[in-house]
Amino acid sequence: MSRRHPLRPFRPLHNPFLLLSPTPIPFLPPHLCENPPALSNPLPTSRITKLTMPPCLLQEFLPLHTLFRDATTRIDLGFDGSYSGLSRVAREAVERNTPRNRARNRAGASAHDNTPVLEQIPMGRNELDTAISLLSSASSPTNQALGFIVIIQMLSEAARFRAIEGLVRTTMRETYDPLMRGLAMESLETHWSDLSEQIQRAQQRNETGFDRTIMLHNVGNERREVNSVDSPFVRGVAMLLYDRNGNCNPGSGPHRHDEL
């Protein structure tokens, strides 16, 4: 994964979604959303690139039949995209794989029956390859949910946080110790909405301080207070959850967004 430039100063972006697209398409300003351009040529499928675009283009500029030209049937999954929803469905697959994970991974060896599901799922290059195949070939919803958890953390979360990106990078080698979710990783993932909200509120006021303190964990599992855009934790945020209503209030409570 490539390094991204620091997000300073913080500006509310027009919903910076990280998508997978068969071909690069330039970012369009919001005023073009009323009349989005048409695609003049068929999309090649030889490469996958990152694409940033405003929300209106998700339906207008890249409709589903453009991204998935050969698809004829839509299948609704029996679970939502939150970590709680995914882990609830993936539990059966995780419990089935636990003995193998404990044998392979030193971190996984410490897992016990009361260990949260998300902390029992190993991540790495081989696990990512398997997870991608599970999206289409999984024999059950529990395996699909497991695949989504691996993909979301290794791609979406790595795009949002440089710290997670660094952890994921270490598992891209030929030989590696699979990555297991710890307190530091969990605290970033579950507070992305809070960080995004406070960063944008501070930017609106032209101040550096937050309205309220956010508690995170560092790599040593120590609790740290984050109350300013000057915090090292904030400097490690590479992507914000943008509030399309313009009021810098994405919601309330943890898991306020679909994780993917």
Beta strand residue intervals within the chain, DSSP E: 19-21, 49-51, 209-217, 223-228
| d(C-alpha 249, C-alpha 252), whole Å | 8
Q: Is 174 a catalytic residue?
A: no
Task: Show Cβ contacts of residue 252 under 8 Å, excluding neighbours closer than 6 positions.
Answer: none
Residue 93 CB-density burial (10 A; 0-12 exposed, 13-18 middle, 19+ buried): buried
Of 157, 165, 189, 197, the catalytic one is: 157
Helix, strand, coil shares of the chain, percent, nearest 5, are 40, 10, 50
CB atoms within 10 A of CB 179: 23
Whether the CB-CB separation of 160 and 187 falls below 8 Å is answered with no
CB atoms within 10 A of CB 100: 11
**Residues with a known catalytic role:** 157
